[in-house]
Chains A and B, each alone.
Chain A
Amino acid sequence: MKKAAKFLLCAGVMLLWLVASACGSGNNEDGVNASGTNGAGTRGATPLAAGAGRYVEVDITPPINGRIMLVVAPDGGLVAFDEGLHNRYDSADNGITWVHATGVGAADERFADVQSVGLLPDGRLLVYLQEEGLTAVSADGTTAHFPMPYIDAGIADGDEFNVSFIHVLDNERVLLTYNVDWIARFMRDGGTFQMFGEEDDDEEEETDEDEDGQPRTQMRVGGTVAAGGGMAFGSMNAVTAIHCIQTGRELERLSHTEFMQPMGANAQGGVYTVASHNLVLYSANGDVEVLLNGTAFAFGSPAGFPVGVSSLPAGGFIANVMQPAAEEMVSRLLKYIWDENATINPGKDITIWTLEDNALVRAAITEVWRLYPEANFTLEIALSEEGGVTATDAIRTLNTRLLSGRGPDVIIMDGTPFENYANRGMLLDLTGRVDTAGMYQNLLAPFAAGGLYVLPTQFTVPMMVGEASHLRQALTPDNLVQAIVTGNPLPPMEAMLAGRVIGGAPDEDSAFMGFNDLDELFHLLWIANVSAFIHDNRLDSNALGEFFTALYAISEKFGLGAEADMMQGGVATGVFMVVSGGGGATNRVNMLGGSMTNFLLQTAHTAAFEAGNIHMLSSFMRRDNMELELALLPGLAQGAWVPSTLVGISADTAMQDFAVTFVNAMLSMEVQRLNHGTGFSMLPEATAWQLANMNEILAEVGMPLFEPNLDVLIAQLSTPALIETTLREMVWQTAERLADGRLTVEGAVAEVEQNIRNYLAERS
């Protein structure tokens, strides 16, 4: 009996062991997600079994070509207005059909600047009119002043209010987001930054009574506001709280790490917001639910941005998303209803792996999803914002999955050893499968030799900008170094910070080209030269010596060694530039490199930079009374360029056809013409479209057209830069020691020879 018990115990332990082992082996893939990949872990986008249900997206946009103001009436009816309230569309069936009516603004220009519309319980509209205040508007166009003492008093004092959000609560109480000529206040207060009327922190509420004696409460908060069963306030210091509408008391502080903009609220007091392209619902009890994965719905397209979410009384919600149209951004109303019976086509369910988030990939997902609503995408971003995973860790995990035959279907190769994948048969030959006819053939050629396993879908180019006379001084790498070294030094940092050189140093005092930090200098020289000193798995020591000589000479000129980096005097220098995605992309904020900063501050005649954004290029080339030109940055590698958003398809994928469809979408005009801000398009047609689109905008505002010689420059590109990060890091460490004087050029060459010997030998 005892033996039997022991045996059973033993067998039980063994069973547990095996179960644990099985779980452990299964954890491999799950672990990837846990350790940083951003897989679709949401109700809306998780690969679902047939019948498990999902949100279904329906475009219910009424025939309004422009921005739409949407109001959901208490009875569930939808009311949509165009800008200026020229037209009104009503829908009683959740947007399936719309009934048109002439808007009150058709005959009244006072409504031209209305930004938001509320719906009063009696059916009148509530809008804000400049110099008049809140105004109730009847269907026949008659208006009546809607008293709001604080605003009325402000208008009487000459304040200019800007009301961006109106939401009518019960009992005629109104929730507003407004600011009061804050720019003037900012200037007047000598730097005290105040927004949205936050005049007095102690005075949070003002209560008065309306005509019927009902209390009307006004609370001042910062940021945007949404209202539902409770109220959610976003503030500028990244604190968002849900307040009780009746008392104004704070109910819950939402826990979030990044800035959160409330997009709308539901009847239960939950607030909709957008985080990492996903639509997220923060509930009043603190629960957080990802409703829509941005990779799987048009909502998350990087080409657009949501401006509001309205909850539907019957369930579901409507997202008001600004998306690019032919010439401008227009609203699309996207309705999302949970469908228990919605299924996913198992033949159109692919996983896309990328080391870092990529706007073009997201745009391609949106595009394919538009064409195949039954498809499902899982976008895995290996290096998540939460961190904790290095690129090498992520690649190691990817390799493990590829070897086990459970790898992603599509791989974005940026930052990976893509040549190894291609050489070892891990990738599908895309020759004949992907339409490459419309691409820059000179850029495609280096990747097409012996099979097209990896395909760049964007690229950047090391370039120079300046007047032709200056650019002619730097036609070769030696000339460039000579011109910089013999040119003027940059003005002292103190002078720049004191603003004495803003607007330009005298022409004769300007440097030829100026750098503020070694990293930027190294990067630009690296991409322009690396393919000359490392090629065919060999190191050309002479070319490396020339590279280091140039680096050292320029570094010495500007004191870029350890003692003088860009944080001179403890203040970072640089220019931030916000680039509008004209014709397409999400706005991007870029901090320009020191070289471009010096050029824009007119303390240098020319600038070197990595070009990949036509809109930024246009900004760089705008200088009064000067004819600026572009040129390739001279380097040892002839016609150097940097391939990016490299895509390949796993040779083991079971979704070969759909993966090819996806890659074709990445190369489609619909995706390529968008300005993702991360590289030039691989399609000449898309580049031309971007230029034409931008010039239309420039023409509208009366600015000179932008007509760069891009085609000529791109035609000269022939050598893709080696983008292996390991090698770059090894050479960079030596470059730092060279710049701060710990090594001579000869010593640096010897050190690199020594350090990368094993790197090269491993690959032989």
Chain B
Amino acid sequence: MSKIFAITLQSGRKYVSQYVRRSEGVTALAFLAPSFAGILIFFLIPFADTVRRSFYDVRGVNFIGLQSYTSVINNAAFRLAATNTLRFVAICIPLLLLISLGIALLIRCIRPHNALFKTTFLLPMAVPVASIVLLWQVVFNDNGLANSVLEFFNLNAVNFMGSGAAFWVLVFTYLWKNTGYNMILWLAGLDSISDTLYEAAHVDGANKWQSFRYVTLPCLLPTIGIVSILSLLNSFKVFREAYLVAGAYPHDSMYLLQHLFNNWFVQMDVSRLSAAATMLAVVLLVIILLIRGFLDEKD
């Protein structure tokens, strides 16, 4: 009898355990559902439609196969935009990571009196894009502030928005705007490193550089992944400033993929736009997976 009871109790526990696990799963799904619905409606379904459209004509009626893809790859505007975008990302992301990390380390050194600095570095994020654009126009116009300064020092005026300098204006804008945000991410990562690790390294005779190299950096690896991916995605938002400052057709050096996408949409060239967007999404996905793979391996 007691054996039967024991078996019953055991199976009952198992059942209860399964029930609890299943109901937890249902609860989890229920909590995830709103977010998932949003992602589904606003990202996944539109993206699926974009992929579909890349294989069809503009009206989405006639199948045209890879025609849009070959046209995009052979398009000079696309190649220029892709090159510029790649160049922008290749220059900006490392610079941003280094500068924001450096600032985060500096600010951490002066805690607890660093609140003012944190706020100051975050301020550019609070400035509306329209204001930034206005400021940039005042500074980088042919007769703007920057050229006035150059003229004051008897230097030649620079056509900032109509020459290769436009690219560096864009780089500066991106760094100026995003450094504060990344700094906060770095600070969060740095705060998560236990002080005992530094104390142990100090006991072992490590100097500051060695503490950074062998304690800080390895512990920051997860943060590096997140910051890199966010920086990469944020780099595409710089188009707002570029578009508002220089319009749909800026100087060659700052003609980005988003300019091309925007123009193709206005021109109703949706098939090529969809093909280019699909290609970009694939490239981004590969890059993100590579970053994660690299970090997982390091971890």
Contacts and interface: CB of A to CB of B under 8 A. Distances in A.
Nearest to A751: B162
Given A13-B34, A399-B265, A758 B27 contact: no
A14 B30 CA distance: 8
B230 interface: no
B37 interface: yes
A10 B36 CA distance: 12
A6 B41 CA distance: 24
A667 to B, nearest CB: 26
Given A14-B34, A21-B41, A417 B265 contact: no
Nearest to B80: A758
B264 interface: yes
Interface string A742-764: 00000000010011111101111
Given A395-B266, A758-B259, 18 more contacts: A6-B31, A10-B31, A17-B37, A18-B37, A399-B265, A399-B268, A403-B58, A417-B266, A424-B58, A426-B58, A426-B59, A755-B249, A758-B252, A759-B263, A761-B80, A762-B269, A764-B75, A764-B76
20 contacts: A3-B27, A6-B30, A10-B27, A11-B33, A17-B34, A17-B37, A17-B38, A18-B37, A21-B42, A395-B266, A396-B266, A417-B267, A417-B268, A420-B268, A424-B57, A424-B268, A425-B58, A754-B252, A756-B249, A762-B264
A425 B267 contact: no
B22 to A, nearest CB: 12
A764 B42 CA distance: 32
B55 interface: no
Nearest to B31: A10
Contacts of A476: none
Given A3-B23, A402-B268, A403-B270, A762 B263 contact: yes
Contacts of A759: 249, 263
A6 B34 CA distance: 13
Contact of B57 (A7, A425, A730, A755): A425
Interface string B24-65: 001100110110011001100000000000000111110000
Contact of A10 (B30, B76, B270): B30
Given A14-B37, A425-B58, A726-B248, A762 B77 contact: yes
B96 interface: no
Contacts of A17: 34, 37-38
B190 interface: no
A726 B249 contact: yes
A424 B53 CA distance: 13
A424 B41 CA distance: 28
Contacts of A402: 268
A10 B31 CA distance: 6
For A10, A17, A757, A762, which residue has the most chain B Cβ atoms within 10 angstroms? A762
In the A-B complex, list the 10 residue pairs whose CB atoms are closest, starting with the nearest. A761-B77, A424-B58, A10-B30, A761-B76, A762-B77, A17-B34, A14-B34, A420-B267, A420-B268, A14-B33
A13 B33 CA distance: 9
B268 A651 contact: no
Interface bracket on B: 35 or more
Interface string A400-418: 0011000000000000010
B224 interface: no
B268 A426 contact: yes
A762 B27 contact: no
Contacts of B82: none
A652 interface: yes
B245 interface: no
Interface string B246-267: 0011011001000110011111
A758 B255 contact: yes
Interface string A634-664: 0000000000000000011000000000000
Name A's interface SS: helix
Contacts of B264: 762
Nearest to B142: A742
Given A392-B248, A758-B252, A763 B267 contact: yes
Interface string B50-93: 00000001111100000000000001110010000000000000
B108 to A, nearest CB: 39
B157 to A, nearest CB: 11
Given A17-B38, A726-B249, A6 B269 contact: no
Contacts of B60: 403
B30 A7 contact: yes
Contacts of B75: 761-762, 764
Interface string A363-407: 000000000000000000000000000001001100100110000
Contacts of B41: 18, 21
A353 interface: no
A755 B38 CA distance: 40
Contacts of B162: 751
A548 interface: no
Contacts of B249: 726, 730, 755-756, 758-759
A756 B77 CA distance: 11
Interface string A15-30: 0011001000000000
Interface string B184-213: 000000000000000000000000000000
For A751, A755, A758, A764, which residue has the most chain B Cβ atoms within 10 angstroms? A758
Nearest to A762: B77
B256 to A, nearest CB: 11
A759 B26 CA distance: 53
A764 B264 CA distance: 11
A599 interface: no
A375 to B, nearest CB: 27
Nearest to A759: B249
A752 B261 CA distance: 22
A186 B27 CA distance: 84
Contacts of B34: 10, 13-14, 17
Contacts of A11: 30, 33
A168 B152 CA distance: 76
Contacts of A417: 266-268
A422 to B, nearest CB: 10
B27 A7 contact: yes
B81 to A, nearest CB: 8
A512 interface: no
Contact of A21 (B37, B61, B248, B268): B37
Nearest to A6: B27
A763 B76 CA distance: 10
A521 to B, nearest CB: 23
Nearest to A651: B59
A262 B38 CA distance: 52
Nearest to B264: A762
A756 B61 CA distance: 32
Contacts of B33: 10-11, 14
A421 interface: yes
A61 to B, nearest CB: 47
Contacts of A761: 75-77, 80
A14 to B, nearest CB: 5
A425 B23 CA distance: 53
A239 B134 CA distance: 37
A3 B28 CA distance: 11
Given A758-B249, A762-B263, A421 B268 contact: yes
Contacts of B42: 21
Nearest to A398: B268
A425 B10 CA distance: 70
A758 B268 contact: no
A8 to B, nearest CB: 9
A18 B270 CA distance: 28
B27 A424 contact: no
Nearest to B74: A764
A730 B30 CA distance: 54
Contacts of A395: 266
B197 to A, nearest CB: 39
Contacts of A403: 58, 60, 270
A421 B269 CA distance: 9
A559 B262 CA distance: 38
